[in-house]
Structure 1
Amino acid sequence: MAPPSARAGDPVTVQAPDADCNPRYGKDARIQVTLTDAAGIKVINTTAPMTDGGAFTYTFVVPATAAAGPAAVEAVPYGVDWCDDTGRNNRAGGTGTTLERTSCAARTEPLTIIR
């Protein structure tokens, strides 16, 4: 993510390459990007295009309403509640297994909002 700090009105870009685990998100895959400010308010909550392998680049503008201080940017595959680090596709098969989100499914990056 760049830059690591920003003022209201500044652009911030968050991006990721394709995953190593071949997740097969599909041709219409989306990434959900949220920006939670220092007050704990989600001031951005949107989706953007993502490749079948999970790569994406999304640029947002820090809203004037965002509270100054430490904030968090999170990017999560939209509509997908799993990521199997072994490379198996757990969406197929209907095993009934309870799945937990793991390291490759959610990425949170710090962003300092300055005035």
Structure 2
Amino acid sequence: MALNWKDRGRHSAISATVGALALVAAIPGCASSTDGEPPCFPPAYSLTPTTAAPGQSVTVAAPDADCNPRYGKNARIQVSVTDATGVEVVNTTAAMNDAGGFTYTFVVPARTAVGDAVVTAMPYNVDWCDDTGRNNRVAGAGDVRLERLSCAAPMTPLTVTR
């Protein structure tokens, strides 16, 4: 079956996303802590199921990290879902533990376009991966709002069906 120009672009975007996921999975860490601990990257997350129709539940979950990320007792994970047309259909935060573990379940919204969607889950309001080689999540941040400066955002594909 021949792909039209729109399908080729989508196919290229999906291929780029999968390539970025492989690259991110291979990176052991982007920032190191200020107290000499080794780098601590957020734990990988998974989706269950990876194919769903609008109205069905999908669970996004991650185990505790193997390192000490120190997210704190009020840590949050930001979960977003962008559908095949590029529309963000979910954008919320959920509880995450100090070690980065979390479980969040959402219902695929009725307005979600059929096709390949992308789910992202990142620690909320922390600069977990910057270019300075330091961990901006630790002491001294106070009430300063921290933003992610660089690194590929972790993305996991979700196939939306009818």
> Do they superpose with TM above 0.5?
yes
Report which of the two structures shows the higher radius of gyration computed on alpha carbons: 2
Change in CA separation of 1:12 and 1:24 when aligned onto 2, cut-off 3 Å: same
Report the TM-score, using the length of structure 2 for normalisation. 0.59
| Aligned match of 1:42 | 88
- Any stretches of 5+ residues in structure 2 without a counterpart? 1-46, 141-147
Preserved CA contact (<8 Å) 1:36 1:42: yes
- 1:56 aligns with 102
Taking a change above 3 Å as real, the CA distance of residues 15 and 62 of structure 1, as seen in their structure-2 partners, is same
Moved over 4 A (4+): 99-103
Q: For residues 47-92 of structure 1, give each alpha carbon's deviation from its aligned partner in whole angstroms, at most 9, with x where no partner exists.
A: 00000010000000000000000001100000012248xxx74434
Higher percent of residues as helix: 2
User: TM-score under structure 1 normalisation?
Assistant: 0.82
> Partner letter of residue 108 of structure 1?
M
Q: Deviations over 1:5-55 (max 9, x none)?
A: 000000000100111231100000000000000010110000000000100
Q: Does 1:113 align with 2:160?
A: yes
Higher RCO, Cα 8 Å, sep 6+ = 1
Q: How does 1:20-31 map to 2 (within 5 A)?
A: 20-31=66-77
Aligned length, in residue pairs: 106
